[in-house]
Chains A and B, each alone.
Chain A
């Protein structure tokens, strides 16, 4: 079993839709959770970073963490064609001195006009 599971999609939605992206994990030691956005042939860009259960909002993006269920989500409101990209969840065990991130496979999102 992989430590981080993420449905690769693809996910296709119309402009303006609310998008929900999810990851589950098995390691209860993970305490830090991140969402990265990666456009084709580019490096990942940090979108959201959280270290506690609950919601964190930044503009049209909301990150949600449920540590009891080992489940994290990213919601995108009023989705735009420019949001079309691959979204990667990542998480970290604070105890790791190397600061290693564990990534999901990424979900490919297409927002059509």
Chain B
């Protein structure tokens, strides 16, 4: 149980385009989903927290207009990187939390490369 999937697993795009990453909880309902960014040999950096049906809460320094998060259902959250630039190239990982629990289950990550 507690499986989280992400799609796509990797994506290469041109500078200026937008990229959407999906995060799904496959066998449980996730009231809260988190989006992280990870640079090589660095730990996870929390970007934003999203609760189903409400606006995401962004961490300081994360541009909400650049990283659009939609948590439309209890099993799906999406992160859209708008007008991507090479500095947005990174490993993006989502996690999901069941209501009342303090553990998070992570997706396999999406590697974004912006040319």
Residues of A within 8 A of B (CB): 8, 32, 34, 36, 41-46, 49, 51, 88, 92, 94, 98-101, 103-106, 108
Q: Cβ of A46: which chain B residues have Cβ within 8 Å of it? A: 2, 103-106
Q: Are B32 and A103 in contact (CB under 8 A)?
A: no
Count of B interface residues, CB-CB < 8 Å: 26
Contacts known (A46-B103, A98-B57, A99-B97); A41 close to B43, Cβ less than 8 A: no
Q: Are B49 and A34 in contact (CB under 8 A)?
A: no
A-B contact count (CB 8 A): 55
Contacts known (A32-B102, A105-B42); A43 close to B32, Cβ less than 8 A: no
**CA–CA, A99 and B109, complex, Å:** 20
The chain A residue sitting closest to B10, CB to CB, is: A41
Identify 4 new A-B residue pairs, CB closer than 8 A, beyond the known A41-B109, A99-B32, A103-B43.
A43-B107, A44-B106, A98-B57, A99-B104
Grouping DSSP codes into helix (H, G, I), strand (E, B) and loop, the A interface class, with mixed when no group exceeds half, is loop
Residue among B49, B57, B97, B106 making CB contact with A43, cutoff 8 Å: B106
Q: Cβ of A32: which chain B residues have Cβ within 8 Å of it? A: 102-103
Q: Cβ of A34: which chain B residues have Cβ within 8 Å of it? A: 103
Q: Are B43 and A105 in contact (CB under 8 A)?
A: yes
- Give 19 pairs: A residue, B residue, CB < 8 Å, sorted on A: A32-B102, A41-B109, A43-B6, A43-B108, A44-B93, A45-B106, A46-B2, A49-B103, A98-B49, A98-B57, A99-B49, A99-B97, A100-B46, A100-B49, A101-B46, A103-B43, A103-B44, A104-B43, A105-B43
